[in-house]
C-alpha cells in the first residue's frame, strides 16, 4: 500500500481505531500526518463535493476560516500545476500578513519541501510544480480588471471598503477574469456584516454556504478566551455577529439601516475640521450601562464626521471621566457635550475633577432618545454625515432606535447612539448663524 493510500485508509477509520492505527505508520508517514489537512480538519472546513462555483464560509471569529482558505489554496496548487489563483483581501498588507504569512496562512500550513516561493516585490507565490497565486487588494478594484484566474480566495469580504461601490466593483472584475481551466472556483471567507456585497452574494442561486460559530473550533482556542468573550458579548447583536456568525438584518421601522450606514462610510478621516466635539452620555451609576463617548468633527464643507467611539462599559465616575479627558486631549476637541439628566452638578464636578479644562456644555433631555435622534438620522439620509471607520457597537445601537419611539437594539439603553446624537446636534443642528461680510462689485 502506497503512503497516500495508507493515509486515506487512516482517514476512513472511526476515531478510536484511527488512534490505534497510528502506531502502524512509518516515521515518514507520521511526519506527513502533520501536513495532512483532511486528517485534522472539521467537515465544515473542507470544500464541499459536487459542481459548485462559489463557496462562502460565513462564521464567527476564531472558527478557522483562514486555515480553511489556506489549505484549500494549497490543495488546488498541489493538484494542478496550471492553477492561477487570485488572493484578494481588504488591502495588500492584510493579504500578506494574514493570508500568506499569517500563523494560519499559506506559508505556515505548507510542508517545507512543498512550500511555495514568495516574491513580495511582484506579489506572487510560486509552487515547486509551477502553480501560482497573485496577491490583490480589493481597495484597488481596477487591478483585477484584465488578469485571468482559475481559482480565487477572497478573505473578509464583508470588510472590503465599499465607498463608491468599490468592493462590488472589485468582486465583479474578479468574476469576469475567473475563466481559466475547466472548472473555475472561488472561496470567500468572512465574518458576517450586512454590507451590500455579502447580501447580494447570499441571494445568488447555486451558492454553497457554510456557517459556523467560534465555539466550533473550541479544541484549538484557549478556554479562557472563549469564556471571556462570551461573558463580554453573550447573545448581544455584536456577539451574535462576531461569535455566532449570524448575519444581523435590519429591524423594520428603525431610524437607521445598515445599508444607510454603509453608504455613509469613508476610508479616511477628515482632512480639516472646523470644530471637534465629544458627546458624552454618562451612566446613572457605576453598576449601570456603558458611558457613551463619541468623537465627532464638523468639516469645513459642513459634513459631520464620526471619528471615534471610546465608550467604556460599566465604569466608575472617575474612570469614564478620565476616558473623556483622554479623548479630548488626543483629538484636541473644542468642547464636551454631556447629558446632565442624572444630575448636572455631579456630571460637571466629575469631569472637572478629571481635568477637563476645555468648554463643557451640559444638555438636558426634554424628548425621548428616538425623538432626539430623528433629525440626526435625517442628516445621514441627506449624506451629511460620514463614519471614518467601522464602529460595530455604535452602529448596532443606531439600528435599534425606532421611528416614533422605542429601542430594540443591544443592551438596555443606546448609550453610544445617544452620545453621537448629542454631538451631532451640537455641531449641525444647534449652530448659530455666523455673520458674513459681503463685498459688492
144 has pLDDT over 90: yes
Q: Report pLDDT digits (tens) over 154-210.
A: 999 999 988 778 999 999 999 999 999 999 999 999 999 888 899 999 998 889 999
Number of helices (H), then strands (E), belonging to the chain: the values are 16, 14
Residue 81 resides in a domain: yes
Distance between CA 194 and CA 241 in Å, rounded? 10
Q: Report pLDDT digits (tens) over 79-137.
A: 999 999 999 999 999 999 999 999 999 999 999 888 999 999 999 999 999 999 999 99
Taking Cα atoms as reference points, which of 266, 295, 287, 283 lies closest to residue 384? 266
Q: What is the mean pLDDT of residues 433-439?
A: 39
* One-character DSSP codes across 33-94: HTT-HHHH--GGGSPPSSS-SEEEEEE-TTSSHHHHHHHHHHHHHHH-TT-EEEEEESSHHH
Q: Looking at the structure, tell me whether residues 268 and 231 fall in a common domain.
A: no
The reported pLDDT for the residue numbered 259 is: 85
Q: What is the mean pLDDT of residues 38-43?
A: 84
Distance between CA 153 and CA 195 in Å, rounded? 19
Cβ proximity of 315 and 257 under 8 Å: no
Q: Looking at the structure, tell me whether residues 226 and 359 fall in a common domain.
A: no
Residue 8 resides in a domain: no
Residue 319 resides in a domain: yes
% residues pLDDT > 70 (the chain): 90
25 has pLDDT over 90: no
The reported pLDDT for the residue numbered 122 is: 97
Residue 353 resides in a domain: yes
Q: Is 12 left (phi over 0), alpha (psi -120 to 50) or beta?
A: alpha
Distance between CA 396 and CA 257 in Å, rounded? 9
Q: Looking at the structure, tell me whether residues 311 and 226 fall in a common domain.
A: no
Q: Looking at the structure, tell me whether residues 318 and 372 fall in a common domain.
A: yes
Q: Looking at the structure, tell me whether residues 233 and 344 fall in a common domain.
A: no
Q: Looking at the structure, tell me whether residues 219 and 72 fall in a common domain.
A: yes
Cβ proximity of 285 and 343 under 8 Å: no
**Residue 437's pLDDT band (boundaries 50, 70, 90)?**
very low
Distance between CA 20 and CA 70 in Å, rounded? 30
Q: What is the mean pLDDT of residues 334-339?
A: 90
When divided into structural domains, the chain yields a total of 2
Distance between CA 424 and CA 158 in Å, rounded? 27
The reported pLDDT for the residue numbered 5 is: 64
Q: Report pLDDT digits (tens) over 370-410.
A: 889 999 999 999 999 999 988 988 998 999 999 888 888 88
Q: Looking at the structure, tell me whether residues 189 and 288 fall in a common domain.
A: no
213: number of Cβ within 10 Å: 17
Residue 370 resides in a domain: yes
Lowest mean pLDDT among 172-186, 220-234, 340-354, 425-439: 425-439
How many angstroms separate the Cα of 417 from the Cα of each of 294, 306, 376, 423?
8, 11, 10, 10
CATH number of the domain within which 67 lies = 3.40.50.300
148 has pLDDT over 90: yes
Q: Looking at the structure, tell me whether residues 47 and 162 fall in a common domain.
A: yes
Q: Looking at the structure, tell me whether residues 215 and 265 fall in a common domain.
A: no
The strand ranges marked E within 194-290 are 208-212, 273-281
How many angstroms separate the Cα of 121 from the Cα of each of 92, 137, 146?
12, 14, 20
The reported pLDDT for the residue numbered 34 is: 73
**Residue 413's pLDDT band (boundaries 50, 70, 90)?**
confident
Residue 10 resides in a domain: no
Q: Looking at the structure, tell me whether residues 202 and 283 fall in a common domain.
A: no
Residue 441 resides in a domain: no
Residue 22 resides in a domain: no
Q: Looking at the structure, tell me whether residues 269 and 374 fall in a common domain.
A: yes
Average pLDDT, the chain: 87
1 has pLDDT over 80: no
Q: Report pLDDT digits (tens) over 244-290.
A: 999 888 888 999 998 899 889 887 777 788 999 999 998 876 556 78
Distance between CA 278 and CA 139 in Å, rounded? 31
Domain end marker among 192, 208, 239:
239
pTM, full prediction: 0.70
Q: Looking at the structure, tell me whether residues 224 and 272 fall in a common domain.
A: no
Range of the domain at 307: 258-429
CATH number of the domain within which 383 lies = 3.30.420.280
439 has pLDDT over 70: no
433 has pLDDT over 50: no
Amino acid at each position: 500500500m502506497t503512503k497516500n493510500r495508507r493515509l486515506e485508509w487512516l482517514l476512513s477509520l472511526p476515531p478510536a481505531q484511527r488512534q490505534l492505527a497510528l502506531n502502524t505508520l512509518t516515521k515518514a508517514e507520521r511526519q506527513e500526518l502533520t501536513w495532512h489537512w483532511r486528517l485534522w480538519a472539521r467537515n465544515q472546513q473542507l470544500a464541499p463535493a459536487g459542481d459548485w462555483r462559489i463557496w462562502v464560509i460565513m462564521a464567527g471569529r476564531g472558527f478557522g476560516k483562514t486555515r480553511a482558505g489556506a489549505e484549500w489554496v494549497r490543495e488546488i496548487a498541489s493538484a494542478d500545476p496550471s492553477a492561477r489563483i487570485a488572493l484578494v483581501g481588504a488591502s495588500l498588507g492584510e493579504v500578506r500578513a494574514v493570508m500568506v504569512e499569517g500563523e494560519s496562512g499559506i506559508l505556515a500550513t505548507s510542508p517545507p519541501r512543498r512550500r511555495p516561493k514568495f516574491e513580495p516585490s511582484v506579489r506572487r507565490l510560486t509552487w515547486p510544480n509551477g502553480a501560482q497565486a497573485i496577491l490583490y487588494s480589493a481597495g484597488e478594484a481596477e487591478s483585477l480588471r484584465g488578469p485571468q484566474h482559475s481559482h480565487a480566495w477572497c478573505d473578509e469580504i464583508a470588510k472590503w471598503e465599499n465607498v463608491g461601490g468599490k468592493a462590488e466593483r472589485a468582486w465583479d472584475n474578479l468574476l469576469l477574469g475567473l475563466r481559466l481551466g475547466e472548472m473555475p472556483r472561488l472561496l470567500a471567507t468572512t465574518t458576517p456584516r450586512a454590507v451590500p456585497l455579502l447580501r447580494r452574494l447570499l441571494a445568488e442561486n447555486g451558492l454553497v454556504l457554510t456557517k459556523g460559530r467560534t465555539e466550533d473550533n473550541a479544541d484549538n482556542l484557549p478556554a479562557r478566551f472563549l469564556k471571556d468573550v462570551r461573558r463580554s458579548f453573550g447573545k448581544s447583536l455584536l456577539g451574535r455577529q462576531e461569535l455566532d456568525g449570524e448575519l444581523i438584518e435590519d429591524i423594520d421601522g428603525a431610524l437607521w439601516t445598515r445599508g444607510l450606514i454603509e453608504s455613509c462610510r469613508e476610508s479616511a478621516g477628515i482632512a480639516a475640521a472646523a470644530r471637534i466635539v465629544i458627546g458624552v452620555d454618562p451612566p446613572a451609576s457605576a453598576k449601570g450601562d456603558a458611558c457613551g463617548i463619541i468623537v465627532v468633527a464638523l468639516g469645513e464643507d459642513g459634513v459631520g464626521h464620526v471619528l471615534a467611539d471610546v465608550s467604556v462599559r460599566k465604569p466608575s465616575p472617575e474612570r469614564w471621566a478620565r476616558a473623556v479627558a483622554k479623548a479630548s486631549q488626543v483629538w484636541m476637541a473644542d468642547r464636551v457635550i454631556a447629558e446632565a439628566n442624572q444630575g448636572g452638578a455631579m456630571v460637571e464636578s466629575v469631569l472637572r475633577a478629571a481635568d477637563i479644562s476645555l468648554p463643557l456644555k451640559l444638555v438636558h433631555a426634554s424628548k425621548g432618545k428616538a425623538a432626539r435622534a430623528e433629525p440626526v438620522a435625517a442628516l445621514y439620509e441627506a449624506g451629511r454625515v460620514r463614519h471614518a471607520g467601522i464602529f460595530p457597537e455604535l452602529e448596532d445601537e443606531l439600528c435599534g432606535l425606532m421611528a416614533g419611539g422605542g429601542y430594540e437594539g443591544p443592551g438596555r439603553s443606546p448609550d453610544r447612539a445617544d452620545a453621537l446624537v448629542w454631538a451631532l446636534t451640537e455641531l449641525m443642528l444647534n449652530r448659530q448663524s455666523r455673520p458674513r461680510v459681503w463685498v459688492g462689485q
